[in-house]
A and B are shown apart, each in its own frame.
Chain A
Amino acid sequence: MSLGVFDLSYSQDGEFITDVHLHRGKNIRPIWKKIEMLAPDAMIVWVDRFDSLCPIASEWALAQALEQSAQIECGTETLFERTLLNEVNRLVWLTTYLGKIFQALAQYQCFERILSLREQVFNFQDEVCGGRILPQALCVGGLRRPIAMGDVQKLGFFLKNWSAAWSDLKPLVEDPLLRSRLKGVAVVPSEEVNNHGLWGIIGKASGVSYDARRHRPHGAYALVDFNIQVFRSGDSLARFEVAREEIGLSIQILHQLMKLFPKASKVERPRPTIQLNKGFYFGEVESAKGPVISVLEVLDGGSIGAVKIITTGSRLLEQIPRLLRGTRVEDLELALASLGLDMEEAEL
């Protein structure tokens, strides 16, 4: 079984998984070496490739680190624009996540409908950023293509149609048979979450409410009201519920952002000169799968020493052999999907 750049193999006793092995394959993408050689704006564009399902969070986290190094402060509009794009982009990961679960459960009608919703998000990203899957939207100090009030109106239409389609899907998502199939599968105890920082959807399903939008407010998140939904059972059903709630939360946050969105400034600000200063810099943005942390080392003369994105996924991967031991063989695909591991991160 293939899991990103890993191959997963397992032993079983006829009913349960007894051992899991992860083997790193040959298709490791040298993404960081490539990014280190690029100019700051190009680095942000390129980091999209790290995770095609959470590109905005990756771009934003790296932009934060670069802006600290260059001592550039973003304007209010930029903070709103980035927050808005991040919330739209969260819908890509969340719909993909639910789609993978439907696929593992052979619920093909739900699978097709949720992916159709994801298509609508891709279309919106394409319209606003010019990039369908990889938006390549941010640059140091701002956005490559600033969001106009017209784009905010487009978002209003998008949200209206999207929310209606999502509401139509809800009865299928709340099907008791589907829920009973998810219950008790791949339980992650809260101690595991705390010991290994398994935040995001896994943490919230196991009673840990860590969310960088709340705990490390960035962009316009400090200006909007929202509650983080937490479940306790830590199983696939709880993670499914978190994903469902997070979709509702993103819609709610987007509505608030639209109301608060600042009117465009009449004065065009000149693009700041990007002069990176020596040191270590960090950024943190909440993606749908959890916080994305960027690390940047700038050397003398402004050249890049190191750059990397750290996510919950890389920490989770190390725990997979233990977490999957004792899972029913027939539940393996569902367990992997519900842990969010059957996804697109470059280092998974």
Chain B
Amino acid sequence: MKLLETSRLKPIEIQAGQLRKTLATLDDDFSSPVLLGTVEVSSGFLVLFHSVRFNRDYSILIKHHDSVSLLEEIDQWRRSLNQ
């Protein structure tokens, strides 16, 4: 499983409503990510993705001002894929 070495990364600070945009600026691979799941960890959330384009998996450590709104944002993202 190829994942970003999350432990060496500082958590990414994301403002409300900026999740998708912020991730897109990190790496071209996130052009069409599949959200695999989220795990609440000691310093925020670990968000797991799969890149369809490169057939690779990634994890990003996200620090958010409000965990509830982060999860809502992830849900919104998922819903947007259905439209």
By a CB distance below 8 angstroms, the chain B residues around A322 are 82
Q: How large is the interface on A (under 10, 10 to 19, 20 to 34, 35 or more residues)?
A: 20 to 34
Q: Which residues of B contact A (CB under 8 A)?
A: 1, 3, 6-7, 34-37, 39-42, 46, 48, 50, 52, 55, 57, 59, 61, 75, 78, 81-82
The stretch among A70-78, A86-94, A233-241, A306-314 that forms the contact with chain B is A306-314
Contact in complex: A280, B7 (CB < 8 Å):
yes
By a CB distance below 8 angstroms, the chain B residues around A146 are none
Find residues 162-199 in chain A having any chain B CB closer than 8 Å to their own CB. 194-197
- Given known contacts A282-B1, A310-B39, A322-B82, what 6 new A-B pairs fall within 8 Å (CB)? A194-B52, A295-B48, A297-B39, A308-B37, A310-B48, A319-B82
Contact in complex: B59, A282 (CB < 8 Å):
yes
Q: How far is the CA of A295 from the CA of B82 in the complex (A)?
A: 27
Q: Which 8 A-B pairs have the closest CB atoms?
A: A279-B7, A310-B37, A197-B34, A280-B6, A195-B81, A305-B42, A284-B1, A297-B41
Query: Does A278 touch B at the CB level, under 8 Å?
Result: yes
Interface mask (A307-338 → B, CB under 8 Å = 1, otherwise 0): 01010001100110010000000000000000
CB distance from A311 to the nearest CB of B (A): 8
Q: How far is the CA of A315 from the CA of B59 in the complex (A)?
A: 16
Contact partner of A197 (CB less than 8 A), chosen from B35, B42, B59, B82, is B35
CB distance from A20 to the nearest CB of B (A): 14
Query: Does A216 touch B at the CB level, under 8 Å?
Result: yes
Contact in complex: A280, B37 (CB < 8 Å):
no
Best-buried of B37, B50, B52 by chain A (most CB within 10 Å): B37
CB distance from A51 to the nearest CB of B (A): 15
Given that A278-B7, A280-B7, A305-B41 are known contacts, is A295 also in contact with B46, CB under 8 Å in the complex? yes
Given that A194-B34, A278-B7, A280-B46 are known contacts, is A295 also in contact with B81, CB under 8 Å in the complex? no
Contact in complex: B1, A293 (CB < 8 Å):
yes
CB distance from A324 to the nearest CB of B (A): 14
Q: How far is the CA of A284 from the CA of B6 in the complex (A)?
A: 17
By a CB distance below 8 angstroms, the chain A residues around B52 are 194
By a CB distance below 8 angstroms, the chain A residues around B39 are 295, 297, 306, 308, 310
Q: How far is the CA of A194 from the CA of B48 in the complex (A)?
A: 15
Contact in complex: A197, B7 (CB < 8 Å):
no
Contact partner of B37 (CB less than 8 A), chosen from A215, A216, A284, A314, is A314
